[in-house]
Chain A
Amino acid sequence: TQLLEQSPQFLSIQEGENLTVYCNSSSVFSSLQWYRQEPGEGPVLLVTVVTGGEVKKLKRLTFQFGDARKDSSLHITAAQPGDTGLYLCAGPLGTGNQFYFGTGTSLTVIP
C-alpha cells in the first residue's frame, strides 16, 4: 500500500471540460508537490503547496492543500489537449529526506 493514493487512475475527457484529480493519505505531509510527466520524459514540477488550506492557481490549474495536510487536489478548467499527461503528487513526511509519490493519474484530453 502506497502512502499517497490518487484518483482517478485514468481520465479521458473532451476538450473544454473541467476535471479534478485527488491525492489522499492517512499521513501528514510537510508539503505536497504536483508534477506532470509526458511520455518518454521525466516529471516536471507544476507547483508546491506548503500550508494547510492553501490554494494556488496557475492559469487554468488550481491546486489545494487540505487543512490537515493529508490530502490535495488539482482542478483543471477548460481542459486542452496540451494538458494530456501523467499527473503525480509527491511529498515528504515531516523532516525526512525522502519524497513519496502518489500512484498517478493518466489524463487524456480529446480534441
Chain B
Amino acid sequence: NAGVTQTPKFRVLKTGQSMTLLCAQDMNHEYMYWYRQDPGMGLRLIHYSVGEGTTAKGEVPDGYNVSRLKKQNFLLGLESAAPSQTSVYFCASSYSPPSGGLYNEQFFGPGTRLTVL
C-alpha cells in the first residue's frame, strides 16, 4: 500500500518548456488535489477533481492544466513553464469531500520540486 506517489521528485525546466507531473493513489479515493507550496504562503490549491473524468479550478489555476482519466491518477501539466512556476508541488487525495467533517483527511504525496530557469 504505497498511498500517494508523485513522479518525478525533482525537475529543472527552461522557460517555455512543457512537462507533466504524475500523481497516483492506491486508496480508491474519489477526491484528488494539486497544490503548490511557496515560502510564507502555505499550500495553495491549483486544481482538484471530485471523481474520474472531472476537474475543477482552485485558487491559482492559471498556467496549469489537469486530467483525471483514471480514478487512481491525476496529472498536472505545464504547457509553457515560467519562472513564477518554480515551486514545490504536492498532490493529495481524500475519501470524503472537504465538507465531510471528520472523514475529510487529505493524504499527501512526497512532493515534486520544480525549478524553471
Contact = CB atoms under 8 A, between A and B. Distances in A.
Interface of A: 2, 4, 6, 9, 30-31, 33, 40-45, 48, 50, 88, 90-92, 94-104
Contacts, number: 82
B58 interface: yes
17 contacts: A2-B42, A40-B111, A42-B4, A42-B92, A42-B108, A42-B111, A43-B43, A48-B101, A48-B105, A88-B42, A90-B42, A96-B99, A97-B56, A97-B99, A98-B59, A99-B98, A99-B106
Contact of B45 (A33, A95, A98): A98
B99 A2 contact: no
Contact of B110 (A6, A41, A88): A41
Given A30-B99, A33-B104, A90-B42, 17 more contacts: A2-B41, A6-B42, A30-B101, A31-B99, A31-B104, A40-B111, A42-B90, A42-B92, A43-B108, A48-B101, A48-B102, A95-B99, A97-B97, A98-B48, A98-B58, A98-B59, A103-B41
